[in-house]
């Protein structure tokens, strides 16, 4: 149970950093240098995507131009010694129009994220993002 609690604490810190829009240097504090993120196909990434640390940080910086504010509500969490599965509801207030949504509108997605940890850092992140219709 100790590993689960530690991993959940790291995951919550990571999500809080994303919500607060921290700079890339601070975000690196929870990401392993060999981190790999896999985003499975969804409305925004129709072909999915795989990102290394540099690409994740670049995407984080770009995302701040698109999303004015975001929140992650964890609805379920479970895991083993080095993996954590989170079910979440994500809400993002748009800084720019996307599809039928205007600046200031809220985009909503239901997300399952699987995080793997090494050395108390996130080494892999797999996302299954299901967006509410916005096109």
10-49 residue pLDDT tens: 999 999 999 999 999 999 999 999 999 999 999 989 999 9
Q: How far apart are CA 38 and CA 35, in angstroms?
A: 10
Does the pTM of the predicted model rise above 0.85? yes
Instruction: Spell out the residues 6+ positions from residue 82 whose beta carbon is closer than 8 angstroms to its own.
Output: 3, 7, 116, 117, 118
Distance of CA 86 to CAs 7, 33, 48, 83, Å? 11, 22, 19, 10
Q: How far apart are CA 130 and CA 92, in angstroms?
A: 13
Q: Kindly list the domain boundaries of the chain, sorted by start residue.
A: 2-131
Q: Under a CB-based contact definition with an 8 Å cutoff, are residues 90 and 108 in contact?
A: yes
pLDDT surpassing 80 at residue 135: no
Class of domain 2-131: alpha beta
């Amino acid at each position: 149970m100790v590993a689960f609690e530690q991993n959940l604490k790291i995951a919550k810190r990571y999500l809080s950093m994303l919500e607060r829009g921290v700079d890339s240097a601070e975000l690196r504090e929870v990401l392993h240098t060999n981190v790999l993120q896999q985003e499975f196909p969804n409305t925004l990434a129709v072909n999915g995507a795989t990102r290394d640390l540099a690409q994740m940080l670049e995407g984080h910086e770009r995302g701040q131009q698109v999303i004015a504010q975001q929140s992650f509500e964890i609805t379920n969490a479970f895991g083993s010694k080095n993996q954590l599965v989170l079910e979440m509801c994500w809400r993002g207030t748009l800084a720019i129009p996307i599809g039928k949504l205007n600046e200031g509108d809220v985009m909503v997605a239901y997300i399952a994220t699987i995080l793997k940890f090494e050395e108390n850092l996130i080494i892999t992140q797999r996302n299954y993002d299901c967006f509410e219709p916005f096109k």
